[in-house]
Amino acid sequence: MPRYEWAFPEYVPVAERRRQAEKLTAKLRKKGQALAPVTISGRQIATTFWGKSWCDNMESYRDYESRLPRGRSYARNGSVIDLQITPGKIAAMVYGSDLYRVAITIKELPPAQWRALCRDCAGRIDSLVELLQGRFSEPVMTRFCRQDNGLFPKPSDIRFTCTCPDHASMCKHVAAVFYGVGARLDLQPELLFRLRTVDEADLIADLDTVAAPKAPTKGKKLRTNDVSALFGLDMAAAEPVVAKAKVKPQKVRAGRV
């Protein structure tokens, strides 16, 4: 049967595709190319708040649902041999029947939307460590994940291309890269903020700070109440205790009057 230019490549079994992907990865690294492959252990692609929320957001849009199952399979099988995330851009290489390059662009989060998100979360996040570990209250989690004005992109914010011959709206290679992003956010959640071109430090910039107690003015004598306030003591007023001196009796000598 003759093969035409528009025909899809023949199917490659998973084990063989994985072997070829590992071989190609080693070859590219030997040439000096720095690669960041997506490695997934087990069936679950993402396990943290940020990784799972990214995947949940992507799966919630009907525009993508028809191609996502094949993409999950590709991501789990180690087909995403390189994934780079920079502000507004995702660049990846996916090995399927051949090596394909995927490019994804995501719109910058509108400044007004980011300010509103920071304002709504003000005072609810104690530190950047807590933020990146996804340890905060349910209202904050819900606020981040809103589909209309949260941190995650909408389909209209996303554009993508792939060098494969599949002309569908989303090919399995692009879907694999999206799942690869979820796995990467498990390890580096700060990349989501880089991708949306915002600074996560803004979310804790308005936290109240505890002022240190002021030192007394030099040369000014502290009253009892001042000392109590400074050291947090409950100093009750009391009469001073005066020690009674012992009087030594004197000997009177006999003498003339």
| pLDDT tens by residue, 64-112 | 877 888 899 999 989 999 999 999 999 999 998 889 999 999 999 999 9
Backbone angles phi, psi at 99, to 5 degrees: -90, 125
Considering only residues 18 and 237, tell me which one the structure prediction assigns the higher pLDDT.
18
Dist CA 56 CA 219 (whole Å):
65
Q: Is residue 190 part of a domain?
A: yes
Question: What tokens were used for 233?
Answer: 């003591």
Look at residue 227 in the predicted model and tell me its pLDDT.
36
**Could you tell me if 177 and 80 are in contact, meaning their C-beta atoms sit under 8 angstroms apart?**
yes
Look at residue 75 in the predicted model and tell me its pLDDT.
93
Report in angstroms the alpha-carbon separations of 137 from 24, 80, 153, 255: 44, 34, 22, 98
Dist CA 19 CA 13 (whole Å):
10
When pLDDT is cut at 50, 70 and 90, the band that residue 215 belongs to is: very low
Average pLDDT over residues 199-210: 69
Average pLDDT over residues 53-64: 89
Q: Is residue 233 part of a domain?
A: no
Q: Is residue 103 part of a domain?
A: yes
Domains of the chain: total = 1
Q: Is residue 215 part of a domain?
A: no
Q: Is residue 124 part of a domain?
A: yes
Q: Is residue 106 part of a domain?
A: yes
Look at residue 163 in the predicted model and tell me its pLDDT.
95
pTM of the complete model: 0.72
Task: Give me the numbers of helices (H) and strands (E) for the chain, helices first please.
Answer: 9, 4
Report pLDDT digits (tens) over 152-201: 999 999 999 999 998 777 899 999 999 999 999 999 999 999 999 999 99
Dist CA 54 CA 61 (whole Å):
12
Dist CA 164 CA 174 (whole Å):
10
Q: Is residue 90 part of a domain?
A: yes
Domain residues for the domain of 57 are: 14-204
Average pLDDT over residues 19-39: 84
Dist CA 197 CA 177 (whole Å):
19
When pLDDT is cut at 50, 70 and 90, the band that residue 8 belongs to is: low
Q: Tokens 């949940």 map to which residue?
A: 56
- Name which of 71, 243, 52 is nearest 172 in CA terms: 71
Q: Answer yes or no: is pLDDT of 9 > 80.
A: no
When pLDDT is cut at 50, 70 and 90, the band that residue 220 belongs to is: very low
Q: Is residue 53 part of a domain?
A: yes
Look at residue 230 in the predicted model and tell me its pLDDT.
35
Computed over its alpha carbons, how large is the radius of gyration of the chain?
A: 34
